[in-house]
Structure 1
Amino acid sequence: MTGPAPSLARRACALGALLALAAAIVVAVLAAVRNPGQLVLAVVLLVIATIAAWAALVRHGIARIVLAVVAVLALAAVALLPDLRTFVVLPLVLGLMVLAALAARVAIGHDLARRARADRVGPARHGVLLMNPRSGGGKVAQFDLEREARERGVTPVVLRRGDDLRALAEEAAKHADVLGMAGGDGSQALVADVARRHGLPYVCVPAGTRNHFALDLGLDRDNVTAALDAYGEAAEHRIDLALIGDRVFVNNASLGVYATVVQSPGYRDAKVSTVAGQLPQLLGPESEHFDLQYRVPGDDDRPPADIVLVSNGAYRLDRLSGFGSRERLDSGSLGIVTVSVDRARDLPALVTAELTGQLARYPGYRAWQAEEFVVTSGQSLVDIGVDGEALQLEPPLRFRTLPGALRVRVPLDAPGVAPAAATPQGMGEAVRVLLRVLAGRPAR
């Protein structure tokens, strides 16, 4: 055993998760036995509706309208099946699966996570926190972070319109012994780079919109004020940073479909309509592949990629609709993912992989890790999204990792675990882990 035995409550949750999972399987099997024809028909109609809806997004004109009508009719046909039980069984199974997942999360806790080696450090003597009041819809004001910082003996520096964030950070670093940033991930990367260059420990305060960096640091993104406790007694450990050229990023850089869409002027104000308008040009049958060239270790077959994701540490990606999270930030390597879509032929397989959370099973998906990665292109400028910021850069694009480059402080009572580090990979591992907890043994 590598840790304390799970509590009675966690063992009860493990039992509940296993029972809910078993109930979902039993309900599905009984429905199939009682009325196999209608259940199979319902599933087929749902698949048709989903594929038709996705296919409509990458078509123009009449083809888009026809496919959209097919999707609506397929959904209507499911609702009109004569046996109501067939229509009810699908959400019932889904509800049981969700219940099983929630109970499993409590049962497993953080047992699976590999804890980063951390040193306990004393309070900052001259802590400085830079703040972007416009990030996250105004979280700096919402959580009164300026006052909260002063009460902890931390000097707040509020970014005003027209200010140069790097210049402010460089000035603050001259007299600070701990430097921090309250803002989005792009601002976090910039100030973290300044802290790295000056050899200062860094504090991340999740005052942005998504706060992916804070998530993978194991911070509670909903409790913004609690992150300020890292200026007191805290746990300090080293993490990696990543570079594209001489620009530091903390999360990821994306090229291809996603990077092109976010360049559109209307994307921030109308994401759904912008995506719908762009996809026919990007992934439709008449569209061309992106001019992105790269090397895959040990593989001379390099199909053109429609999505390239380079990350500071490897992501566990289940779906394209979210960048997931990273098990660790100290692996000393970049995570690299490429996705190639053979237009209409591959669309059903891609949709299926997306819906089932099995992106890694999609034939056009490749993932590996490396210390360096280079993307070349015949274009004069390449669209790229770096930590959520839309840029255009000249190729070649050179990525590399900076192992252990940043000293990060987190509160002693922070969760300290990224979701990917605490979640089993696949149903088989989840069942094995739950059985261990039910038997009174640690999950790991």
Structure 2
Amino acid sequence: MSDPAPHPLRTLHEGLSDLDRRLFDAVADSPSPLLDLTMRPLSAAADHSKLWLVIAAGLGGLGGLSSRRGAVRGIVSLAVTSLIVNQGLKRIYPRRRPVFDGVPLRRARRQPTSTSFPSGHSAAAAAFAIGVGLENRTAGYALAGLAGAVGLSRVATGAHYPGDVLAGFAVGAGVAIAGARLVPPVDDSRTMTPEPTVERVETDRDGAGLVVVLNPASGDGTGTRVAEEIRSALPRAEIVELSADSDIETVAADAAERAEFLGVAGGDGTVATLAAHAVATGKPLAVFPAGTFNHFALDIGSETVAAVVDSIRNGRVAKVDVVWLNDEKLLLNTASIGAYPDFVEARTRYQKRRIGRATATVRAMRHVLRHSSPVTVRIEGRPAAVSFFFLGNSMYGAPSFVPGRRSRLDDGVLDVRYLEDGHRYAWSRLLLSWISGRIRNSQVYRELQAPVVTIDADEPFRVAHDGEAGDLHTRATFRVAYRELRVFGTSLTR
């Protein structure tokens, strides 16, 4: 009686294993001076992800916003991939390392003690390269070639079979793509937005003609330090310090009338007030980071006093959008209705009790979760019960009910996102659509982009803006003023 035929899957496995060994021998035994020169140091550089950490540091320190986002996404993808490979897959399938007697001594490295499948170096390389590429396509293309070379080095030095490398690439790529589903990449939409409007103005190197309105109490005392830095770098600039009883509108109007160039150092509310007077007089505004979060300053490239001083000395001025609420109040960043205004109001109330900002924030969040309820309004005439409503000056990253960071402040649109209450299993449906990357198809999540958005209601609702609780309205019309504000900055002049 003849032996039974082997199972097809076993035959396939044996065939692939034989092919894997033959490919390994072909690469490892290859008498290539180029491989001898490059493969061993490249493989060593990728040990413990040192190569990718160095590249991430370079992208974060020297690159633009997309490069910084890519560096963060790449490192997170790499970390998750390493955990999955080393603590999971290598334990499930303990494949032996190849026998590398044929590998030239000048190329071979000490054999790792861990199992062979899949290649951790290759998985980390793919995760980092694709993670970066999701945010910055140009950098991703360059890193893809380097990741491929790292995978080749693991075969050329005798550490892995080609199948191990391919499996590692697949795992790393899968983790990076899954991460993009959970946290969508920022869509800069640069092809749809005209180039920044940039001009050069003549300025004095020591700050003559610059009047800076400064709040020394902002940022829990940061304002005082900023004032000292400005006086040191721009000795001829005039600094007007606000006091507790100052009328900021009067001070801002007087400064705008006297100044050749306006400056402001304070929280976003203070910055917005000075911005309104800068728009009215047509004078450029220098925004020094002296608040708690400095959202607007960071987004125009004014991350430090030194960066602002450099922009002033070089006369770099860009035009950015502002938003007008009912043609009366200027907004720079965001506005909200629903739970967020309640949160801001509660946080302000707790802070007046002289407790720390962090403690006030926690208490305010707890208060909102217990007592906040949806707001019934009409958004562009469409009735909606809104539990979360976000309106941003320019696009705030990719679609998501958790907005990202904007990369442009001059695209001429309002970025509106909100969650509707009243749907069955709303949070479960929202979570599933977010994970699957189909958030725009959700019946819970809504978004729109437009130059003008109107909200009205039968009952007054509060509109919070730029970190302030704001006032009550029955009708709120938000209008973009396209590139109306002139600012000294770096992000929009590259």
* TM-score class normalised by the smaller sequence: 0.5 to 0.7
Q: With CA pairs under 8 Å and 6+ residues apart, which has the higher RCO, 1 or 2?
A: 1
Name the CA distance, whole Å, in 1 between partners of 2:238 and 2:254. 13
Shift of 1:292: 1.9
Structure ID, larger Rg:
2
Distance (Å, rounded) in 1 between the aligned partners of 2:268 and 2:438 = 27
* 1:157 paired to 2:246: no
Deviations 1:104-126 (A, max 9, x none): 88996799895624223321541
Partner residue in 1 for 2:360: 270
Within 2, Cα distance between the matches of 1:155 and 1:116? 30
**Alignment of structure 1 residues 4-403 onto 2, 5 Å:** 28=84, 31=88, 116-124=196-204, 125-145=208-228, 148=231, 151-220=234-303, 223-245=304-326, 246-264=328-346, 265-266=349-350, 268=357, 269-282=359-372, 289-295=374-380, 302-316=383-397, 323-342=403-422, 345-350=425-430, 363-379=443-459, 381-403=460-482
For the residues of structure 2 that align with 1:304 and 1:193, how far apart are their CA atoms?
32
* Change in CA separation of 1:329 and 1:109 when aligned onto 2, cut-off 3 Å: farther
C-alpha separation between the residues in 2 aligned to 1:19 and 1:406? 37
**How far has the Cα of 1:353 moved from its partner?**
6.8
Change (3 A) 1:277 1:170: closer
* TM-score with structure 2 setting the length: 0.58
Partners of 2:259 and 2:90 in 1: CA distance: 69
What runs of 5+ residues in structure 2 fail to find an aligned partner?
1-53, 60-66, 94-122, 142-187, 352-356
Q: How many residue pairs get matched?
A: 338
Q: For residues 387 and 27 of structure 1, do their structure 2 counterparts lie closer, same or farther at Cα, with a shift above 3 Å needed?
A: closer
Checking the alignment, whether the CA contact within 8 Å between 2:214 and 2:239 is kept in structure 1 is yes
Shift of 1:405: 1.0
Determine the C-alpha separation between the residues in 1 that align with 2:318 and 2:462: 34
2:177 is matched with: none
Residue 152 to residue 415, structure 1, CA distance change in 2 (3 Å): farther
How many angstroms apart in 2 are the aligned matches of 1:372 and 1:392?
Answer: 20
Tell me the CA shift for residue 349 of structure 1: 3.9
Q: How many angstroms does 1:343 deviate by? A: 6.8
1:376 is paired with a residue of what secondary structure?
A: strand
Contact kept, 8 Å, 2:319 with 2:410, in 1: the verdict is yes
Do the aligned residues in 1 keep the contact of 2:322 with 2:331 (CA within 8 Å)?
yes
| CA displacement at 1:139 relative to structure 2 | 1.2
Q: Secondary structure at the match of 1:305?
A: strand
Q: Which runs of 5+ in 1 are unaligned?
A: 1-8, 37-92, 419-444
For the Cα contact (< 8 Å) 1:10–1:107, is it kept in 2? no
For 1:211 and 1:356, the matched residues in 2 are separated by 33
Matches of 2:269 and 2:400, distance apart in 1: 23
Matched residue SS, 2:481: strand
| CA–CA separation in structure 2 for the residues paired with 1:147 and 1:117 | 27
Q: After superposition, what is the alpha-carbon deviation per residue over 1:34-54, rounded to whole angstroms, capped at 9, x for unaligned? A: 669xxxxxxxxxxxxxxxxxx
1:391 counterpart letter in structure 2: G
State whether residues 313 and 326 of structure 1, in contact with CA within 8 Å, keep that contact through their aligned partners in structure 2. Answer: yes
CA distance in 1, matches of 2:331, 2:214: 18
Decide whether the 8 Å contact of 2:395 with 2:415 is kept in 1: yes
> Which amino acid letter does the alignment assign opposite residue 319 of structure 2?
R
Which amino acid in the other structure matches residue 370 of structure 1? A
What residue identity is the alignment partner of 1:232? R
Deviations 1:7-36 (A, max 9, x none): xx8699899998995895586479379669
Whole-Å separation in 2 of the counterparts to 1:19 and 1:305: 36
Larger fraction in helix? 2
Residues 19 and 409 of structure 1: CA distance in aligned 2, closer, same or farther (over 3 Å) = closer
TM-score scaled by structure 1?
Answer: 0.64
Displacement, 1:132?
Answer: 0.6
CA distance in 1, matches of 2:266, 2:197: 26
AA matched with 2:290: A
For residues 252-308 of structure 1, the C-alpha deviation after alignment (integer angstroms, 9 at most, x for no partner) is 1111111122222237542223322321333xxxx5x31221127xxx6x5422122
For residue 247 of structure 1, what is the amino acid of its counterpart? K
- Percent of pairs with identical residues: 25
